[in-house]
Amino acid sequence: MATTRNKVAIAGVAYSPTVKRSDRGLGALAIDACLGAIRDAGLKPEDIDGISNYPNPSRIGAGEKDGVDFVGTKFIAEALRLKNLSWFSSVTAGTMCVSLVEAVNAVAAGTCTHALVWRGMANPPGQFGVYRATRAEGDTQFEAPYGLANHVMRFAFAYSQYMARYGATREDMATYIVNCRRNAAINPNAAHVGKPITREDYMGARMIGEPLSILDCDMPVDGCGAVVVTTAERARDLAQKPVYVTGVASGGFKYNHSLVLDLDSYEESAALLARSLWKNAGLGPSDMDFANVYDGFSLFVYIYLEAFGFCKKGEAHRFIQDGRIALEGELPVNPSGGAMGMGRLHGTPQLLEGVLQLQGRAGQRQLKKARTTLVNSGGPATGCGAAVLTVDP
C-alpha cells in the first residue's frame, strides 16, 4: 500500500484568541490564526500554495456568510491575498483532522509545497443550539418532533447505553472532565484558562440531555486554530522543529442507515478508523506517549480510547481513573484541556497540542515524554479523522 509515512511534516501552528464571545468577528480571528501559523513556520503568505478547510458552521440556524458564520477557503485566500495557490480542499465532513489528511496527501503528491489548514468556530449571541423551525422537513420530521433536533439528545441516547452495558457512572466521567479543566487552567490558549473545577462542580452541573450535563458538552466559543504543512525535507530548514506525520486516516461513517444511531454504530465506526490509522502508520497504541482524542461530547473519549486500543471495549471508564490520564500519568489524555477545557474548536485542541508537545513548546503542560502521539477529531459515525505524529522520522 502506498504511504505518505514521514514524508510530510507540520512546520507551524497558531491560535487566535479563544473566548466565549469575542468583540471581533470570526473572520478576523481566523486571519490572526492563519497568519500566526505562517509566521511560526518562518514563512510568508506568498509561500502558501495550498489550503484545506472544513467550513461547516456546525450549529442550528447558522447563516451562510463566509468570514462571518464560517471561514472557508475563498475568504482566507482573498483575505491573505494568497496569489500563488495551486490547490485547495473544502471537505464536507470530518473537522480539523480530515482537513489535515487532505493537505498531507496533497503535499506528499507534490500538488503543493506549503499547505495551510485551519478551523474557525463562532458563538453568536443568544442561546446556542436551539431548534426554532416551525416545520420539520426531510429527515428532521422523524427527529425534531420527538426531541432529537439537537446532537446532545442523540449522544445522550448512546451514552445511556454505554452506562447500562458496561456499568459506567457519572462519577467515573467526573475524573475526565476535572482533569481536562485542570489542564486547561494552565493553558493560555484555552477559553477556561485559570478556571479549574472540582468533582462536586461536575456532579452538580445542570443536565441538558440526561446523562449529559452542560459539562459533558464542549462550550461554544469564538476562535480559530491553524497549522502549516510541508514536506519533511523543507520543514527541516524552517523555524520550528519538524513534527512528522507518520500516518493518517479518515472515515467513521454510519453503516446501519438509521437516523438515530446507537452505541454499536459509534463503536464500529471508530474501530474502522483506528484500524485504518494503525495500518497506515505502521504503529500501534503501545507506541503512543500520549493521546489527543476528540471530546466534543464526553462519551467520545470512552469510545475512542477503546477503539484505538488503549484499553478493552467497555473498560475506558475504569482505565481513566487513578491518575493514569493526568499530565504525570501513564497515558496523558488531552493535555491541552481538549474541547472540554479549550472550547468548541472541532479538533484544533487535539492537533495543535500534539504538535506543541512534540516540539517542547507546551509551557506548564509540557510532558516529560513526548515523542509520538495520536491526534483525532470528529464524532464517531459522523465523519472523523486521525493522525500519528512523531519527532523521529
pLDDT digits (tens, 9 = 90+) for 73-100: 999 999 999 999 999 999 988 889 999 9
Q: Taking 60 as the threshold, does the pLDDT of residue 27 lie above it? A: yes
Percentages helix, strand, coil for the chain (3-state, rounded to 5) are 35, 20, 45
Element housing 35 (H / E): helix 26-40
pLDDT digits (tens, 9 = 90+) for 128-155: 767 777 788 887 888 888 877 777 888 9
Domain assignment of residue 298, given as a range: 8-126+220-390
Q: Taking 90 as the threshold, does the pLDDT of residue 125 lie above it? A: no
Q: Is residue 147 part of a domain?
A: no
In percent, the amount of the chain with pLDDT more than 70 equals: 98
The length of the chain in residues reads 393
Q: Taking 50 as the threshold, does the pLDDT of residue 52 lie above it? A: yes
Q: How many CB atoms lie within 10 A of CB 195?
A: 11
Q: Taking 50 as the threshold, does the pLDDT of residue 106 lie above it? A: yes
> What value does the mean pLDDT of the chain take?
93
| Local structure of 304: helix, strand or coil | helix
| Spatial separation of the C-alpha atoms in residues 393 and 388, rounded to whole Å | 12
Tell me which amino acid residue 187 is. N
Residue 30 Ramachandran class (φ > 0 left, ψ -120 to 50 alpha, else beta): alpha
The arithmetic mean of pLDDT across residues 228-238, rounded, is: 97
The pLDDT, as a whole number, for residue 154 is: 84
Closest to 230 measured CA to CA, from 210, 218, 244 = 244
Q: Is residue 146 part of a domain?
A: no
More confident residue, 63 or 19: 19
Q: Is residue 148 part of a domain?
A: no
Asked whether 223 and 118 are in contact (CB, 8 A), the reply is: no
Q: Taking 80 as the threshold, does the pLDDT of residue 379 lie above it? A: yes
Q: Taking 90 as the threshold, does the pLDDT of residue 105 lie above it? A: yes
Q: How many CB atoms lie within 10 A of CB 4?
A: 18
353: domain CATH number is 3.40.47.10
Q: Is residue 154 part of a domain?
A: no
Asked whether 344 and 220 are in contact (CB, 8 A), the reply is: yes
The grid coordinates listed for 118 are: 485551519
Torsion of CA 223, 202, 200, 323, to 10 degrees: -80
Q: Is residue 234 part of a domain?
A: yes
The arithmetic mean of pLDDT across residues 361-374, rounded, is: 98
Q: Is residue 168 part of a domain?
A: no
- In this predicted structure, which of 28-32, 148-152, 368-372 has the lowest mean pLDDT? 148-152
pLDDT digits (tens, 9 = 90+) for 172-199: 999 999 999 999 999 999 999 999 999 9
Asked whether 274 and 308 are in contact (CB, 8 A), the reply is: yes
The pLDDT, as a whole number, for residue 2 is: 55
Predicted TM-score (pTM) of this structure:
0.95
| Spatial separation of the C-alpha atoms in residues 140 and 172, rounded to whole Å | 33
Q: Is residue 231 part of a domain?
A: yes
Tell me how many domains the chain contains.
1
Q: Is residue 160 part of a domain?
A: no
DSSP-derived pairing of the beta strands 8-15 and 50-53 = unpaired
Element housing 155 (H / E): helix 151-166
The arithmetic mean of pLDDT across residues 329-350, rounded, is: 96
In percent, the amount of the chain with pLDDT more than 90 equals: 82
pLDDT digits (tens, 9 = 90+) for 292-332: 999 999 999 999 999 999 999 999 999 999 999 999 999 99
The arithmetic mean of pLDDT across residues 340-365, rounded, is: 97
pLDDT-based confidence at residue 274 (cuts at 50, 70, 90) = very high
Angle at 387 (CA atoms; ends 155, 251), nearest 5 degrees: 50
CA 352 to chain centre: 9
Residue 128, φ and ψ in degrees, nearest 5:
-85, 135
The grid coordinates listed for 230 are: 510541508
| Local structure of 359: helix, strand or coil | helix
Angle at 69 (CA atoms; ends 63, 72), nearest 5 degrees: 115
Q: Taking 50 as the threshold, does the pLDDT of residue 1 lie above it? A: no
Q: Taking 70 as the threshold, does the pLDDT of residue 256 lie above it? A: no
Asked whether 120 and 70 are in contact (CB, 8 A), the reply is: yes
